[in-house]
Chain A
Amino acid sequence: MSGTAVMRFRQPSVLPGFGIALGFTLVYLSGIVLIPLAAMILKSAGLGWAEFWRIVGDPRTLAAIRLSFGASLLAASINAVFGVLLAWVLVRYSFPRRRLADAMIDLPFALPTAVAGIALTTLYAPNGWIGQFLATLGLKVAYTPIGIVIALTFIGLPFVVRTVEPVLREFDREAEEAAATLGATRRQTVFRVILPSLLPAILTGYALALARSIGEYGSVIFIAGNIPYVSEITPLLIVIRLEEFNYAGATAIAAVMLAISFSMLLIINLIQAWSRRRFGHDG
């Protein structure tokens, strides 16, 4: 490797260790992530376009993708609303056990998904703690798409809170005061001044929660009814295809999911680039 090639590739720096750090990063990244994912794409590419589209365009696959997307969108939206509210309450107000509440936010992150799934099913089944009250109202949660939304809301809860919290904390209160001085009501200040500048953070959290929810498996399968066309999520369909020895079907659906994941990340990056340009801070 010649020095000039490296110079053109990166800007000069006196710090050592670039070659070894980047080299190790690339080797590790390739070995753990890129090559395995490439192998999967290769496998699904072996199908040929016609077969690939036949599998992906299958009504059951489409129904599963629609469900995964729909439930994730709904769950992320719930989290966007409550996430902002939680972040607001945690940053702006003081109340007993505030620190405990703040620490609890990360629970869905640390709690294994299977444990979460079993616990939520125990709560929301028709004979569960919450389920029995809902049942008297004629509302079924577990084993319906609503159950899936509940599980995904649980999984995505930390994302919006944790992206909005730091931005809100550093928010310039003078802007609020200025708005108040200029005669804006509190409601106007909140909706016209504060929320718009929180928007990139909210969007980032929303997209992160969405990206995480679409692929979620462990917590959902226990609480979803797993009925084809009704409550069968996409990752479950991959597992089912696999268990039917239908590797082609499994990898084709997985490839679509992978494309979705990748575009979600790109969208997140775009939001952040936009936010940096517009507000001078990350989302």
Chain B
Amino acid sequence: MSRFRRSIFAAVITSLMAVPGWAQTTILNVSYDPTRELYREFSAAFTQYWQQQTGETINVRMSHGGSGSQARAVIDGLDADVVSLALEADINAIVEATGKIPADWRSQLPNNSAPYTSTIVFLVRAGNPKNIQDWDDLVRDDVQVITPNPKTSGGARWNLLAAWAWAEKKFGGDEEQVRNYVSALYRNVPVLDTGARGSTTTFVQRGIGDVLLAWENEAFLALEELGPDRFEIVTPSISILAEPPVALVEGNAEAKGTTEIARAYLEYLYTETGQTIAAKHYYRPFKPELVDPAALERFVEIELVTIDSFGGWAEAQPRFFGDGGIFDQIYQPAN
């Protein structure tokens, strides 16, 4: 037994020593679904930048999935150097479960560690045949709404909160009516995909539903990838300021000796290049002054509420999306 254990140790030590020798340094960015195109371009730009700065060739690997499932994977040991997820709550879950991210991660980078923001808009079919203009149209009997499951998709949580924010304003804070509105909204949802991308595919490719509640960037991308003649974007009267945060997973990066690169990677998001790439992929840059104004024209002014009006994620997460929370109550059969 002891010899077996010693041979494992030996194997491990050799492999640890061997890694820097034969493989280039690799960092892993664990991200959520709609950032695929953004980070593909950004990682390439950063690799180039890093080589110019240090002469070192590095490799940035990507993993994409639903924000919640990605956080779960990091908690279970997926060896991420940086995480770029849909919500603060998902990063907080990693903080609580593993301690690999310091509790004050939000203060480590500008704008609460959110280098870009987005919002929730409506994607409708060309010509807007159902004449969907604002949130109240979504509960009409003849309208089918596509949105993913807020339990597994970060974007879907922003969707629900945006709807809630509108209803709260409309009904003057009467919670009973707000709840009824949101329940009616979800009764119009025929397919509840697990991730934002799944919902977009259902709406766009399968032709299900009349309106897709989508990240603004996702809506623009769908327009670009799948034909501007087939869909159009409707901006509701009120929406939510979504701040997808990024964080350094210190526990993992320190163990691998990649802290410096990983930190530089995140900081690079805030540079002119990073902000321009974000804007190009339809995210609203945190520092618009660094970006060519032409690239910003497509972003329409919307009245945006923030997560703080829900008491921050620490309060909103359990209240709306926790076990037995508001979302669970919506789906409970009335009896």
Q: Mark A residues whose CB is within 8 Å of B.
A: 59-60, 121, 125-128, 142-143, 221, 225-229, 232, 236, 239-240, 242-246, 249
Is B43's beta carbon under 8 Å from chain A?
no
Cross-chain contact A60 with B331 (CB below 8 angstroms): yes
- By DSSP majority rule, is chain B's interface helix, strand, loop, or mixed? loop
Cross-chain contact B191 with A244 (CB below 8 angstroms): no
Cross-chain contact B193 with A226 (CB below 8 angstroms): yes
Q: How far is the CB of A187 from chain B (nearest CB, A)?
A: 45
Cross-chain contact A225 with B191 (CB below 8 angstroms): yes
CA distance A192 to B146 in the complex (A): 53
B194 interface neighbour in A59, A125, A240, Cβ under 8 Å: A240
Cross-chain contact A226 with B191 (CB below 8 angstroms): yes
Cross-chain contact B331 with A125 (CB below 8 angstroms): no
**What are 24 A-B residue pairs whose CB atoms fall within 8 Å in the complex?**
A60-B328, A60-B331, A60-B332, A125-B206, A125-B207, A125-B208, A226-B192, A227-B190, A227-B192, A228-B192, A229-B331, A236-B194, A239-B194, A240-B151, A240-B152, A243-B151, A243-B194, A244-B68, A244-B152, A244-B323, A245-B68, A245-B72, A245-B75, A245-B97
CA distance A240 to B194 in the complex (A): 8
Cross-chain contact A246 with B323 (CB below 8 angstroms): yes
Is B333's beta carbon under 8 Å from chain A?
yes
B190 interface neighbour in A225, A236, A245, Cβ under 8 Å: A225
A225: B residues at CB distance < 8 A: 190-192
Q: How far is the CB of B200 from chain A (nearest CB, A)?
A: 14
- Given A125-B208, A127-B207, A229-B333, residue A243 in contact with residue B189 (CB < 8 A): no
Q: How far is the CB of B258 from chain A (nearest CB, A)?
A: 26
Cross-chain contact A226 with B149 (CB below 8 angstroms): yes
A243: B residues at CB distance < 8 A: 66, 68-69, 72, 151-152, 194
CA distance A128 to B191 in the complex (A): 17
Across chains A and B, which 5 residue pairs bring their CB atoms closest together, nearest first? Answer: A125-B206, A127-B207, A243-B68, A243-B69, A225-B191
CA distance A204 to B190 in the complex (A): 36
Interface size on B, residues (CB 8 A): 27
B205: A residues at CB distance < 8 A: 125
Q: How far is the CB of A230 from chain B (nearest CB, A)?
A: 9
Cross-chain contact A127 with B152 (CB below 8 angstroms): no
A59: B residues at CB distance < 8 A: 332-333
Is B143's beta carbon under 8 Å from chain A?
no
CA distance A243 to B207 in the complex (A): 28
CA distance A226 to B195 in the complex (A): 11
A229: B residues at CB distance < 8 A: 331, 333
The interface bits of chain B over 304-335 (1 if a CB of A lies within 8 angstroms of the residue's CB, else 0) are 00000000000000000001000010011100
Is B62's beta carbon under 8 Å from chain A?
no
* 4 additional A-B residue pairs with CB within 8 Å, beyond A245-B72, A246-B323: A221-B194, A229-B331, A244-B151, A249-B323
Is B60's beta carbon under 8 Å from chain A?
no
Q: How far is the CB of B70 from chain A (nearest CB, A)?
A: 9
- Given A243-B151, A244-B151, residue A142 in contact with residue B206 (CB < 8 A): yes
CA distance A197 to B273 in the complex (A): 75
Is B296's beta carbon under 8 Å from chain A?
no
CA distance A143 to B331 in the complex (A): 17
B191 interface neighbour in A227, A239, A249, Cβ under 8 Å: A227
B206: A residues at CB distance < 8 A: 121, 125-128, 142-143
Q: How far is the CB of A48 from chain B (nearest CB, A)?
A: 16
B189: A residues at CB distance < 8 A: 227
Cross-chain contact B191 with A143 (CB below 8 angstroms): yes
Q: Which of B264-321 contact A (CB under 8 A)?
A: none
Is B95's beta carbon under 8 Å from chain A?
no
Cross-chain contact B93 with A245 (CB below 8 angstroms): yes
CA distance A227 to B69 in the complex (A): 18
A239: B residues at CB distance < 8 A: 69, 152, 194
Q: How far is the CB of A121 from chain B (nearest CB, A)?
A: 7
A245: B residues at CB distance < 8 A: 68, 71-72, 75, 93, 97
Q: How far is the CB of B320 from chain A (nearest CB, A)?
A: 13
Q: How far is the CB of B212 from chain A (nearest CB, A)?
A: 14
Closest residue on chain B to residue A226 by CB atoms: B192
CA distance A108 to B87 in the complex (A): 39
Q: Give the one of A229, A236, A243 with max B CB within 10 A.
A: A243
